[in-house]
Amino acid sequence: MARRRLWQLGAAFLGNGNLAGFLDGRIYQGSSKALCLPGLNCYSCPGALGACPLGALQSALSGTVLRIPFYVLGWLLLMGVLLGRMICGWLCPFGLIQELLFRLPGPKLRKGQWSARLSQLKYLWGILLILILPLLLFIFTGLGEPLFCKYVCPAGTLEASVPLLSMNASLAAAAGWLTVWKFALLGIFLLAMVFIYRPFCRFLCPLGAWYGLFNRSAVLGITVDAHRCTHCGRCSQFCGMDVKLAGDRECISCGECREICPVQAIHFRQSKNQSNQILEAKHS
């Protein structure tokens, strides 16, 4: 847990290292802004040194001219192949915020069939808000809109709207119904995070849905030794996410379930490969 927390904090600080932005309320415009960060990290956050991959994808599907975002699509594919949802568990700043809020005292809502069903929403949600609806808007109106970023994303509201509006009186004065809606939605999510483990990550995040598709084949991440696994279900019961088996598409590869596996069948892929090499060397 301690090592993962250091990775989460390091990723948050490295991706949002423009500390001056939090003092003057200005968005960083340097050359690194053309590059995407791995996790959900709003482009408009005053500290952000890079772009959010979802935001960059939405931007390409917005405006009066649709563009094929080859770089963004390539980045999303590369991150999925390399890390899968390990990004959610180790590198996403908004995932870190959810985990810290869940540690606050209060009753905790246990997962069950209700959460397993809700966890499937993010796949439908992502397809609708990121691709289908923006494309339909462009076809029928000639103008695409970044629907997820504009109307939903609580990470953008927390990381960008809160600091920018608090430091810019002119922006705050121009705020309208959309700002009220986004802040209300953010309040609901923040409250839910105290009682439910990573609710946005589990139920609504399109980026996590995408990375989850690569979980079983990603270069790094959690894997289960099929020869050892007895399917006792302890990893599923222990995990705060809606996994059926460690390493499936809902797994964020936090690695905490390794300690409770009675047959030590759960490994990080890299450590498992190293163990196999050691065993092979001993037998050779």
276, 194: one domain: no
pLDDT at 271: 62
Q: What's residue 118's pLDDT?
A: 96
113 in any annotated domain? yes
Q: Do 123 and 19 lie in a common domain? A: yes
The answer to whether residues 55 and 184 belong to one domain is: yes
Whether 229 and 263 map to the same domain: the answer is yes
Residues facing residue 81 across a β-bridge? none
CB neighbourhood size of 24 (10 A): 9
Domain assignment of residue 183, yes or no:
yes
171 lies in the same domain as 118? yes
Regarding whether 248 and 174 lie in a shared domain, the answer is no
Q: What is the pTM of this model?
A: 0.91
- Tell me, yes or no, whether 153 and 257 share the same domain: no
Q: What is the pLDDT along the chain (284 residues), one digit of tens a residue?
A: 789 999 999 999 999 999 999 988 899 999 999 999 999 999 999 999 999 999 999 998 888 788 889 999 999 999 999 999 999 999 999 999 999 999 999 999 999 999 999 999 999 988 999 989 988 998 899 888 899 999 999 999 999 999 999 888 888 888 899 999 999 999 999 999 999 999 999 999 999 999 999 999 999 999 999 999 999 999 999 999 999 999 999 999 999 999 999 999 999 997 655 544 434 444 44
Q: What pLDDT is recorded for position 246?
A: 97
* 203 within a domain of the structure (yes/no): yes
- Do the domain assignments include residue 232? yes
Provide the 10 A C-beta neighbour count for residue 175.
13
Q: Is residue 85 part of a domain?
A: yes
Q: What is the pLDDT of residue 272?
A: 55
Residues 73 and 97 in one domain: yes
Q: Decide if 217 is inside a domain.
A: no
Mark whether 181 and 268 lie in a shared domain. Answer: no
Of 191, 212, 233, which closes a domain? 212
Full domain range(s) for residue 201: 2-212
Tell me how many domains the chain contains.
2
Domain ends where: 172, 193, 212? 212
Of 184, 212, 240, the position where a domain reaches its end is 212
Does 126 lie in the same domain as 71? yes
- The answer to whether residue 179 sits within a structural domain is yes
Same domain, 123 and 228: no
Statement to judge: residues 86 and 227 lie in one domain? no
Residue 74 domain-assigned?
A: yes
**pLDDT the model gives residue 117:** 95
* pLDDT (0 to 100) of residue 270: 75
